[in-house]
Amino acid sequence: MIVEGAILDRSGPRAGYVRIRAGRVLEVGSIGCDSSGGRERRIRGIVTPSPVNGHTHLADFLSVREPPAGTLAELVRPPDGYKFRLLQSAPPAAKRDAMRAALRWMERQGIAATLDFREEGIDGARLLRAAARGSSVRPVILGRPPAGEIDRPALEALLAVADGIGISSAREEGPDRRRTLARACRRAGKLWALHASESVRESPDDYLDPRPDLIVHLTRATVDDLRQVRAARSTVAVCPRSNALFGRRPPLAEMERLGLPVLLGTDNGMLRPPTLFREAEFAYVSSRLAHRPVSAGFIARSLLVTPWEFLGQPDRAAITADGPASPLILRLPPEDPEYQIVTRAGEQVIVPPGSPDRRRPGR
Ligand SMILES: [Zn+2]
């Protein structure tokens, strides 16, 4: 198959064609220069790297009802917020099925990986591994050790299953405990992550000590806070729709202006399904509504490029012949590809790489 139109990847947007067979990129070049001799099926569209969901709690997909009214703390704060009661009362098989369903939603959007904060210790991490068996979505599991005194062998066992640790917030885990956990992550070559400045401003001196690889939210961060985050070289994940439910929004324009590496996430599965393209559109539109506009290019990079750099796989954000990426093919007008991706992409325009004219059978 030849996709003629635009390419949007790590090198930015450009006109061109991509020749694809069985999900692999064979050729990339200027329109009209492909070697197919006109014998291959040809579509007009945009080719990008696979997107990554920068922040999820997939097990929360247990509840699909409208979330009850309440403060953020009443809904999601450990140990007895609504979501934790939900998790505690559900049998493991129900949680595994909920996570599997959420992963299927992401498969249909061509999402290749999700950075999931997985509570419930080693059992929680194992359950997500089991749920993701056979899925095309790779879960990057940021596990959470149980509260209380740290049990070293249990922590090491958790890190053997998970890709790192993601805690609720620095306010809920004292500095000594944070340092112990972060040190264990470093030793194991794993990621250290936390939520910060979501409902109230926290001091970067707290959440940057020890330095996290990933900070989620920063809704209440000031420009000076963001400068400190930049100096620490941490990556930020933002979840604009989840924040909006509680009347807040992340300072995206300031993050773009400062050049912070930003990922876009869909957050708790009970608040939002993991519909990443809708998150992207909301990020774009809500920044206009707040008179603090961000560029479509910034949002597109946060889906398609920055996550792969964060995961240490920058090659997966490049569309090149024989590259490692299995690309995303979108039947969209190639004009202004960043704007197309952010405002128009969705399941209905994704072309499965193996079968250009047929949609994947419903799953
Ligand atoms: Zn979260």
Domain ranges of the chain: 2-49+318-349, 52-310
What's the pLDDT score for residue 65? 87
For the chain, how big is the Rg over CA atoms in Å? 20
Q: Which two tokens stand for residue 43?
A: 């579509």
Domain 2-49+318-349 has CATH 3.40.1800: no
Q: Give the separation between CA 193 and CA 55, rounded to whole angstroms.
A: 11
- pLDDT bracket for residue 363 (50, 70, 90): very low
134: alpha, beta or left? (left if phi > 0; alpha if psi -120 to 50): left
For residues 181-202, give the mean pLDDT. Answer: 97
Exposed (0-12), middle (13-18) or buried (19+): which is 89, by Cβ within 10 Å?
exposed
For the sheet containing 164-167, what is the strand order?
262-264, 235-238, 214-217, 191-196, 164-167, 138-143, 113-118, 52-57, 267-268
- The CA 193 to ligand 1 mean position distance, Å, reads 10
CA nearest to 55, candidates 287, 211, 243, 185: 243
Ligand 1 centroid to residue 164 C-alpha, Å: 15
Same fold, 2-49+318-349 and 52-310: no
The H or E element containing residue 4 is strand 2-9
Q: What is the dihedral of CA 286, 289, 295, 300, to 10 degrees?
A: 20
CB 4 within 8 A of CB 42: yes
Summarised one tens digit per residue, pLDDT across range 27-83 is 999 999 999 888 999 999 999 999 999 999 999 999 988 888 888 888 888 888 888
For residue 47, the surrounding DSSP H or E stretch is: strand 42-48
For 80-104, the pLDDT digits (tens) are 888 889 899 999 999 999 999 999 9
Q: Is 5 left (phi over 0), alpha (psi -120 to 50) or beta?
A: left
Tell whether the model's pLDDT for residue 261 goes beyond 60: yes
pLDDT digits (tens, 9 = 90+) for 287-318: 999 999 999 999 999 999 999 999 999 999 99
Which pLDDT score is estimated for 48?
97
pTM: 0.95
Q: How far is the CA of 144 from the centre of ligand 1 (A)?
A: 12
* pLDDT exceeds 90 at position 360: no
- How much is the mean pLDDT over the chain? 94
CA of 109 to the centre of ligand 1 (A): 21
Quickly count helices (H) and strands (E) in the chain: 14, 14
- Tell me how far the alpha carbon of residue 188 lies from the centroid of ligand 1, in angstroms: 23
Q: How much distance in Å is there from the Cα of 59 to the middle of ligand 1? A: 12
Residue 152 tokens, joined: 């070293």
Query: Would the pLDDT of 361 be above 50?
Result: no
Cα(272) to ligand 1 centroid in Å equals 12
- Sign of the Cα torsion 338, 281, 237, 274 reads negative
Burial-class residue 193 by CB neighbours within 10 Å (0-12, 13-18, 19+). Answer: buried
Q: How far is the CA of 238 from the centre of ligand 1 (A)?
A: 9
For the segment 101-125, the average pLDDT, to the nearest whole number, is 97
Q: Which residues have C-beta within 8 Å of that of residue 151, sequence separation ≥ 6?
A: 145
| Fold that domain 52-310 belongs to in CATH | TIM Barrel (3.20.20)
For 200-250, how does the pLDDT look when each residue is reduced to its tens digit (9 = 90+)?
999 999 999 999 999 999 999 999 999 999 999 999 999 999 999 999 999
Q: Kindly indicate the confidence band of residue 354, based on its pLDDT and cuts at 50, 70 and 90.
A: low
**Ligand 1 centroid distance, CA of 168 (Å):** 7
